[in-house]
Amino acid sequence: MTECQIWTGAKNPRGYGWRRSSFTGKATTAHRAIMEEHIGRPLVKGEVVAHSCDNPSCVNVDHLRVATQSENIKEAYVKGRKKYPGLRPDGRGIKSKLSAQDVRDIRAARANGEIYRSIAERYPVKAGAIEKICSGRSMAGVK
């Protein structure tokens, strides 16, 4: 990976560079403004700029990518930059009823054609929770 290019202008308290967007004329983070210039368009609602280097002051476009906020937060958990509040030592939430192995088994059962209701009978959750786990709409089992 190439080296970070550190923003030397104004920064906010969290270390992100600060400047005006050439598209909107509004003040924004430097990495966002530079990424907009790089891709040739302003970011649309729901898009953020994620750093692969985890350095908020970096503006190297090789370290930046357009993502959703959800993707950016999941990456932060996976990389250990962000700790999910209330996690047990095994990575499960305090209110979690399923282990990571349970989630893998549930997804495997569904992949083999088993219906949600049938899977749910073996676990302390309802069929709707099983469906969310299988569709990826639940963070269950994500570490």
pLDDT tens, residue by residue, 43-92: 999 999 999 999 999 999 999 999 998 888 888 877 877 765 555 555 55
Share above pLDDT 70 across residues of the chain, in percent, rounded to a whole number: 86
Q: 1 near 53, Cβ under 8 Å?
A: yes
Q: 140 near 92, Cβ under 8 Å?
A: no
Provide the H-helix boundaries in the chain.
Answer: 30-39, 69-79, 100-111, 116-120, 127-135
Q: Report pLDDT digits (tens) over 87-118.
A: 555 555 556 778 778 888 999 999 999 999 99
27: which strand partners?
20
Determine the pLDDT at residue 36. Answer: 95
Determine the pLDDT at residue 57. Answer: 96
| CA atoms of 121 and 87, how far apart (whole Å) | 26
Determine the pLDDT at residue 17. Answer: 95
Confidence of residue 6 (pLDDT cuts 50, 70, 90): very high
Helix 100-111 and helix 127-135: axis angle, to 10°? 90
